[in-house]
């Protein structure tokens, strides 16, 4: 049974999410401030975190940064009532996998939790991962161990970053992928008018992959079309 950590300082929201997640078959733990969230995460080792931005003691951004430092693959979904795009992008820059804007529908939350858990391999019905390595230019990807190697040297990537690379590397040589296609195939659902989530992920990957992120030679942009891995 996958375990979900809910972090929100509004008990009513925690109760609604807890009830529906348990009803959907998940285990649930909760925290009501940032410091408590880190302690619960340490003790309970959740498979996914629903993390509010506006928290007492430590805000959600600080919690996200620390959770990502501890675990590169843990799915983190930010819950935010903020309308400013820069706040959502900031959360993604810190390592969040996704964001859900309040007010949200329970159905949407459940769908995104399931999608992220399946991608991380925490659900029993997750599809078996291909064990064969994938090579694209200077990169080698090992799907079963979720390792990325550049010129034979292992790199650290988040779950989402690995999935983005794997999807692109499995395509044809120098195949260009539009942001809409990547959002649909890698994130698994539609983002209304916010394709920048792909740009953020690409920027973070370039910081890890490239000798000089400002002049990329591995993960390239085809202006007006999308991104591709140089073969």
Domains of the chain by start residue, with CATH: 3-120 (3.40.50.2300), 134-229 (1.10.10.10)
* pLDDT surpasses 60 at 68: yes
**How far is it, in rounded angstroms, from Cα 79 to Cα 52?**
4
Could you tell me where the beta strands, DSSP code E, fall in 8-47?
A: 27-31
pLDDT grade for 127, boundaries at 50, 70 and 90: very low
For residue 148, give every residue at least 6 positions away whose Cβ sits within 8 Å of its Cβ, in sequence order, or none: 139, 140, 141, 142, 154, 155, 157, 162, 165
pLDDT grade for 193, boundaries at 50, 70 and 90: very low
Buried b / exposed e along 191-221 (16+ C-beta atoms within 10 A): beebeebbebbbebbbebbeeeeeebebbbe
* pLDDT surpasses 70 at 124: no
Contact status, residue 201 vs residue 92, Cβ threshold 8 Å:
yes
| Most confident by average pLDDT, 34-43, 77-86, 98-107, 126-135 | 34-43
pLDDT grade for 94, boundaries at 50, 70 and 90: confident
* Three-class SS state of 173: coil
pTM over the 0.85 mark = no
């Amino acid at each position: 049974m996958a375990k979900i950590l809910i972090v929100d300082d509004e008990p009513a929201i925690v109760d609604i999410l807890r009830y529906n997640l348990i009803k959907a078959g998940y285990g649930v733990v909760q925290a009501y401030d940032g410091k408590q969230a880190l302690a619960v995460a340490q003790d309970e080792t959740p498979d996914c975190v629903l993390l509010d931005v506006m928290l007492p003691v430590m805000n959600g951004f600080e919690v996200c940064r620390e959770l990502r430092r501890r675990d590169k693959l843990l799915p983190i979904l930010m819950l935010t009532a903020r309308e400013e795009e820069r706040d959502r992008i900031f959360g993604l820059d810190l390592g969040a996998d996704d964001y859900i804007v309040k007010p949200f529908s329970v159905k949407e939350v459940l769908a995104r939790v399931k999608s992220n858990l399946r991608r991380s391999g925490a659900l029993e019905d997750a599809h078996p991962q291909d064990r064969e390595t994938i090579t694209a230019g200077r990169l080698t990807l090992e799907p079963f161990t979720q390792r990325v190697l550049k010129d034979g040297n292992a790199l650290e990537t988040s779950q989402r970053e690995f999935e983005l690379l794997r999807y692109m590397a499995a395509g044809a040589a120098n195949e260009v992928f539009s942001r809409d296609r990547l959002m649909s195939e890698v994130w698994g659902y539609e983002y209304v008018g916010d394709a920048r989530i792909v740009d953020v992920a690409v920027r973070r990957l370039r910081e890890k992959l490239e000798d000089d992120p400002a002049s990329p030679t591995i993960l390239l942009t085809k202006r007006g079309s999308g991104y591709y891995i140089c073969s």
